[in-house]
Structures are given as structure tokens and as C-alpha cells.
Structure 1
Amino acid sequence: MKNYILDTNVLLHDPNSIFNFQENHVLIPIEVIEEIDRFKREATELGQNARTVSRTLDALREQGALSGGVPLRNGGLLRILFQQNNGNGHQNHSVDSRILAHALAVAQSDKGRKTVLVTKDINLRIRADACGLAAEDYETDHVRIQDLYTGMFEMTVSTEEMAAFRLNGELEVPLNGHYPNEYCILNDAGHPRRPALAKVDVSGKKLVPILDCREGVWGIKPRNREQHFALDALLDDRIRLVTLMGKAGTGKTLLAMAAGLKRTVLDREFRRVVVARPTVSVGRELGFLPGTLEEKLNPWMQPIHDALEMLSDLNMGHEHRRAADLLRSGTIVVEALSYIRGRSIANQFMVIDEAQNLTPLEVKTICTRVGHGTKVVFTGDPYQIDNPYVDSASNGFNYLVSRFRAQPLAAHIELQKGERSELAELAANIL
């Protein structure tokens, strides 16, 4: 049994974190409640999380006095911490100092249980350690990037098995430890220079060939094996969730846009392509932007317009006119993610760009907006995170990849080779 003292940033990151500490005691300093109260009026995801925390605590309050301890559904106990002012000017200290003082007081008074301060604030963890107090990050939704699912593997088979695969369009082999829609580079033991590209079928028991996309999609031809895998996932009607991971220049957004345009404009499978990305800037904020909502979004969505113009140029030869026509007709809609809550998005091809800047809760919000007939594609690079509230272990993109890897309606591909330019590939590798 332990005492876990939660910082404000933990509750704002995951409003349900109160219930994730098993049978241990969860303690919340009153200063954390005051900070939560300051966020609750915001129209952002933080504001929504703050309101969720307040409602949760209010529901628990009806079961008993929070100051004395309320039982949680997982067998733990929740208690709000108060500390009387001892006249030494303590009330003028920062909020972090008061939270740390609460934790030290609990550790001193309850020596039968280990007391742990849980915070996503690195500096507060350092201060706690300096005071001899155990401190941890909130790791319930952490995914170690070194252990992240890559979505592909290699397998070597005999020449006879390879011939049977090419003839029958399937091959039953032991696939223990591999997931549906996991892609495979199938090597021929007798002819190692002639591999085949395959994937695990939805049953998880055999390998089947991928779609032949060598002729290209909307003017884009795959340049490496991973791009072949990505186009197969993007064009497969059975797969409704695709995650494309890769460093800058690997073609994540371009492939997703090309597949979306083909399935929407040529195949008439979807009503429109919806492209959205979080509005997180690189470096210092520029302040409020003038104009209409569309004009405010233009700086954030310029990478999408760049990809559209390139696709139009490759496919039609009239880049600016064709890209503008697609936007004007509503075939492509570019949006911010700020206003997605409460929507139901049906029969659309959704592309969520720069998904590494999303929190796990934001990813859940997006996925639960997906209606009937919609396909959603998340693209991201977990090594380029601009959101100060997430990192390579706690971002929603990695969390999504980890949680959906065993689901037959999902596929993940890690794009490894940069194709933007020689300079871009060199910069991504050495800088």
C-alpha cells in the first residue's frame, strides 16, 4: 500500500487518473483543486479535462467527506489534503512548494506507507528527490518508443513455399506473435534477391499478397517497400484505421492525401477528404491572428496546401487551379481539431496530420467521432514533438499504435526512408 499524491498536470493530462492506482491511497492537495478551477472555463482540451475532474470529484463527494477519505471502485481511497498555515509565511510560497510541503507532511505522518509524488513536472520531481521524497511521472499511458510496434517483419521460406504463395495468393505458415494486417517482406531462401510483399490476413493465420500499386495513386508511385505497404493499408476497404509513422520527408502526408483523393474523387467511396492537424506551433507563438476562421487557419494548414499543390501538379499539370478547385468544391476540407468534440463524421476519409502532438485523450476523442463508413489516417513523427505537455513516451499517437496493433480493422506502417530530397534525408538523420 502506498500514498500517491497527484499534481495538477496529472489530472489535466488524464481526468480518470484517480482510478488508475489500484488499491492504494490517492491524495489530492487542495491547491490542485484550486488550479483545476482556473482551467475549467477554457474552451480547450485542458478546459474539458478540468470540468471532467470537477464532475468526478463532485460525484465522489456525494459518497462521503473527501477530507476523511472516499472509497474508489478499484479498492483504493481518495482524500483531499488540507494544511493549516503555521505562521511562517508558507501561504506566500508557490503552488509547487505547497504541494511538495503536503507530500512531505504525509510522508512524515504516515511512515507505514511509502509516499510518492506523481507529477509530469520534471523540475518538481527533481525538487522532491532533493527533499528525500519519492517522485514519479504518470506512466499509465506511456509507451516506450524503443518497444513500439513497427507494423512489419521479415520471413524466409523455401522456394517451394514461395512458388505456392505466388500461385495460390496465400501461404499458411506459423505466425505466432504477429498481428492481423502486419506487413511482411517474404524472402525466398533459394533466391534472396526476389522477395515478395505480403501481409497477415484478418484471421492471423496466413500471409496474403498486398495490392499492386506500382502504377501509382493520384500521380504518386511508391519508392520503397514501406510506401507499398502504406498504400495497401490506405486503399484496403477492410482497414478503417491507419497509422503512418516516420521521420520528416518519408511521404506520410502525401501518401495519405493521394489515397484519400483517389478513393473520394475517382472511386466515389467517400463523400469528401477531411484533413486536420493540431494547432501547435514550432518555437515562440506569434499571438492572435487576424481575419476569419479560414484565414486564421491558413498558417497552420499550409503544409496541407503544399501537399495538395504537389499532387495536383503530378496528376493534372495545373497545380494551383486544381488544388483550389478541390477546396472550393468541398471535396477537400481543411479543419482544426479544436472543434471536433461532439461531432459525428460519417462516410469521409479523415487525415489527422502531426498526430504526435496529441494527448491520448485527444486521440480517443477523435476516434470516437468516427461514424459509419469513415476511414481515419493518423500520421506522425514521435521524434518531432512541439506540444510541451507530451513527450515521446506519453503522446497519443504512440498510445494509439500500441493499443490497436492487434485489431483486424487497423494497420500500422513505419516509413523509414526519406524521399523528399537528399538534403532533407541527410538533415533528418544527422541533425
Structure 2
Amino acid sequence: MGLENKRRFVLDTNVLLHEPLAIYSFKEHDVVIPMTVLEELDQIKDRRKDVSRDARVAIRTLEDCLSDASPEQILKGVPLNHPNAPEEELGTLSIFPDHQITFTNPVALPGDNNDNLIINSALYLQQIGNDEIVLVTKDINMRLKAKGAGLEKVEDYRTDQLVDDIQFLAKGFAELKGSLWERIKEVTSEQFGREVFHTLSREALEEESLYLNQYLIDDSRDFCGQVKSVNDREVVIRDLGQDRLMSYHAWGINPKNIYQGMALQALMDPEIDMVILTGPAGSGKTLLSLAAALEQVVEQRLYDKVIVTRNTPEIAESIGFLPGTEEEKMAPWLAAVTDTLEVLHKQDESPASSLQYIMDKANIQFKSINFMRGRSIQNAFVLLDECQNLTPSQLKTIITRMGEGTKLVCSGNLAQIDSNYLTAVTSGLTYVVERFKMFEGSANVYLNGVVRSRLAKFAEQEM
């Protein structure tokens, strides 16, 4: 790319909170951090909230890049370097002293809040130089203000966004019209033990976007298969059968619909290391996950323990003030799991005794997500709930903690995002669904349909 196409990206604070290593995402172009952004990061880093960690990581990243530079070099631009940088040369990083701007242009915004100061920085750089200036922010209203003030280029930060619309997110299954076998001209079937695999031409399913461990169901109400291999020429499908899926059971729980059947099959499959469950509230994500965990820990003894964790913005702020052990501190935020345990044992003669017995027998541990970092979790069944509130980098940190013999279940509802810095398309849950589609050790299922109650179903559909 020639120098005439050089661009300078002015980053808003929320970009660095969303992705602390964002300065390395702009390839050969230059990155500008207004002084106001550093001040905001400084204020956020000491807050007792989960986002404070991201602020500290962003500050350390900037410090690593600028630590050996002189004040003059920092103003001019210090070359970016990163061991995992792309092959092409990276641009520079500079700090812009936006408090020293003197505007004569009437379109400048009043400098009475941080957003205006950052916008003014971009406007000033646009006026004094020949480079193309781009303000990058995840704040929609700030993008509108910047355009209204005369800034020519304003963008969202989307390097980790793999889908443009949540309706295109992979559901983990494809519903074929008609009967699959009526559209197939030639098929080769092989049996290995109890399993049957069909090899057919890719052309027969050319209208479908296929990926590994994707489920296929058709209108016959009989066929269900799972994609085990796919290329440009052929597809290998493992024959499961809808009746077989509906007969799966775990800890006394049977699937109520074919979507739960697919989810339970993935949860019980020892060859699947990670299961991603999405879907509306009341679709059975937690119930199926916990039932599968208890079945495989207590009955089958495939794992040594069950670890349950989740992310909530309040945990980092409030957990230290609660009495008791880590498990007791976490209990208020993991009530969904304890409620599910009660449902699984409500028919017992003494539900309370059964609950405590199972908690001990399955070695169920409630862990704060903040204490998962730095660990190596071995031979465990891990339930990670409310994943929609995690960023891609946070979720990556947790997934890389999983050691040998561990199964991870990531679940969440993309319609219930609590974070101010995430949307359905930028959530870490959306990211892993798309990124792990071609990983043979993962499966994804969207649980289509609310089975909790008719009240919950009506609320999900009509509100």
C-alpha cells in the first residue's frame, strides 16, 4: 500500500476496553491515542468492576510499546511491534495532547465532556494534515456526533466481528426440505461397530453451508445425521436418527424436542471437547448441561468434578463483601444452577438431603470467573454460563485454561446481553460459534423453542 493511502486511526476508550490489544489490529496504518483516552483508562482501572481488568491490560500494552521512547518520539509516533503481528509492517503509535488544541473552526464541539474532546482531536488532525483520519468507536451516538461535527471517516471496531447480522449466526444444524434420501443419487455407507457413516456428493447439499459436527434433519421426521467430514467433493455424515436422539437420557432427563436431542447427544459425546449452547431463556440450556454433567461424573465416572462459573458485571464489585467461602460468595449469581439441581431432585423423598449428597458426590464447585485465569483445569466437566457477556478475548482466556480430559460447555442467550461494550454480533459467544465451526472437537446447537412454561414462551415471543 502506498504512502498516499496512509490512514491514521484515532481510538476511543471503549475500543481499548473491548479489545485491550486493539492497537495491533490496524496493520501498516498509524494509531493515535488522545490524552483524554489515557485519563479515562486511568479512572476505570481502579474501579471494582470487571472492565477494570481490561483497562489495566490496555494501559500495560501501551506502556510496553512506549516505555523506551522520548516525549518527542511519542508525539511523533513510535513503531508498533508485536510477536504475532501480520507479515506486513505495522504502523506507529502516538499520544495526542488534545487538551492543547486551540480551535478557530466553528464546527468544533464544546470541550465539556470526554467524547467531545476525542472527536475534536480527530477533527484537528483532519484539518492540519494530509493523512486520512478515521475515528474508531463502538459508541453509536459518538459516531453520529462526529459525523455531524464534520469528521469525514468514522468507523466501528469490528476486527473480531465474524457475522454482520445475528440472524446469520450458525445454529449448529440445518433443516432440509423434503427427504434427504430423495435428493441423493448415489451414496456409500459403511458400518463401524454400532455407527453407520454415509458418504455422498457435496453437490447434493450444495445449497447448505456445511461445517464439522453440524446436525442435519429433514422433514421425514426420521433422519438425523451429523457432518463428520466435508470438502468440495463429498460429505461424510454420521447416521444418528431422530428416534435415537429422542431416546437419549441423562440423570433422569429426556429431550423434549429434537433440538434438545441434538444438544444432549453433543453433551454426552466423549469425542466432543466443547459444546456451545445458545437459545432463548427457558429452552433447557442449563438443565441439559447439568444433567449431562451429573450423569458423566457420578454414573459414568468420565470426569472427576463439575466446575460451574459465569460472568456477571457485579461479581468483581460485590463478591469481596459477601461472607463465606468462594462457593458461598458465588451462590447468589449461580442460583440458576442450584434451582436446576432442585428440579432434578424434586421427586426425591428428601430433596434437601439429595441436593447436598449430589453436591458432594459430583464434587460440584462454584468458581468466580476472575479466579479461572492462570489455572489449568484437568479432567473436569466445566459449565460456563452467561457467555454472552464475555468479550472474545475473555472467552479465549478461559478456553485456553482447559486441560486434558476436560469438557467445556459454553451457554448463553444473545438476547440478554448486560455489558455496555457488547452487542449480539460482537459478543464472545457469537465469536466462538463462528470460529469453532471447523474444529472437530466442538459442536454448537441453537435450542429452538421455549419449554420452561407457556408463560415464558409467550414472554419470549411477544415482549
Whether 1:80 aligns to 2:95 is: yes
Q: Secondary structure at the match of 2:275?
A: strand
Any conservation in 2 of the 1:183–1:199 contact (CA below 8 Å)? yes
Any conservation in 1 of the 2:274–2:407 contact (CA below 8 Å)? yes
Distance 2:65 2:369 in 1: 32
The size of the alignment, in residue pairs, is 421
Any conservation in 1 of the 2:15–2:137 contact (CA below 8 Å)? yes
Percent identity over the alignment is 36
User: In the alignment, which residue of structure 2 is the partner of 1:154?
Assistant: 175
The structure-2 alpha-carbon separation of the partners of 1:194 and 1:36, relative to structure 1 and needing over 3 Å to count, comes to: closer
1:103: Cα distance to partner? Answer: 1.1
Q: Secondary structure at the match of 2:74?
A: coil
Q: Secondary structure at the match of 1:275?
A: strand
Q: How does 1:416-427 map to 2 (within 5 A)?
A: 416-427=448-459
The structure-2 alpha-carbon separation of the partners of 1:362 and 1:101, relative to structure 1 and needing over 3 Å to count, comes to: same
Distance 2:457 2:389 in 1: 22
Whether 1:129 aligns to 2:147 is: yes
RMSD after superposition: 2.9
Any conservation in 2 of the 1:180–1:200 contact (CA below 8 Å)? yes
Q: Secondary structure at the match of 1:158?
A: helix
Distance 1:413 1:366 in 2: 20
Provide Cα deviations, 1:191-221, integer angstroms capped at 9, x if missing partner: x534211101156731112383515211111
User: In the alignment, which residue of structure 2 is the partner of 1:411?
Assistant: 443
Q: Secondary structure at the match of 1:413?
A: strand
Distance 1:6 1:377 in 2: 34
Q: Secondary structure at the match of 2:122?
A: helix
Distance 1:87 1:165 in 2: 75
**1:154 counterpart letter in structure 2:** E
1:92: Cα distance to partner? Answer: 6.9
Q: How does 1:182-221 map to 2 (within 5 A)?
A: 182-185=214-217, 187=218, 193-201=220-228, 205-210=235-240, 212-213=244-245, 214-221=247-254
Any conservation in 1 of the 2:263–2:445 contact (CA below 8 Å)? yes
With structure 2 as the length reference, what TM-score do the two structures score?
0.83
Distance 1:80 1:367 in 2: 34
Q: Which moved more, 1:347-356 or 1:77-86?
A: 77-86
Q: Secondary structure at the match of 2:290?
A: helix
Whether 1:231 aligns to 2:264 is: yes
**1:360 counterpart letter in structure 2:** P
Provide Cα deviations, 1:353-411, integer angstroms capped at 9, x if missing partner: 11111111111111011111100001111011122221111111101111111110111
Any conservation in 1 of the 2:392–2:432 contact (CA below 8 Å)? yes
User: In the alignment, which residue of structure 2 is the partner of 1:354?
Assistant: 386
1:300: Cα distance to partner? Answer: 1.2
Q: Which moved more, 1:387-396 or 1:112-121?
A: 112-121
Provide Cα deviations, 1:285-323, integer angstroms capped at 9, x if missing partner: 999864224444222111111011111236x55432212
User: In the alignment, which residue of structure 1 is the partner of 2:131?
Assistant: 113
Any conservation in 1 of the 2:294–2:362 contact (CA below 8 Å)? no
User: In the alignment, which residue of structure 2 is the partner of 1:364?
Assistant: 396
**2:78 counterpart letter in structure 1:** V
Q: How does 1:237-316 map to 2 (within 5 A)?
A: 237-280=270-313, 290-292=322-324, 293-313=326-346, 316=348
The structure-2 alpha-carbon separation of the partners of 1:423 and 1:307, relative to structure 1 and needing over 3 Å to count, comes to: same
User: In the alignment, which residue of structure 2 is the partner of 1:2?
Assistant: 7
Q: Which moved more, 1:76-85 or 1:228-237?
A: 76-85
With structure 1 as the length reference, what TM-score do the two structures score?
0.89
Distance 1:162 1:273 in 2: 45
Distance 1:243 1:16 in 2: 26
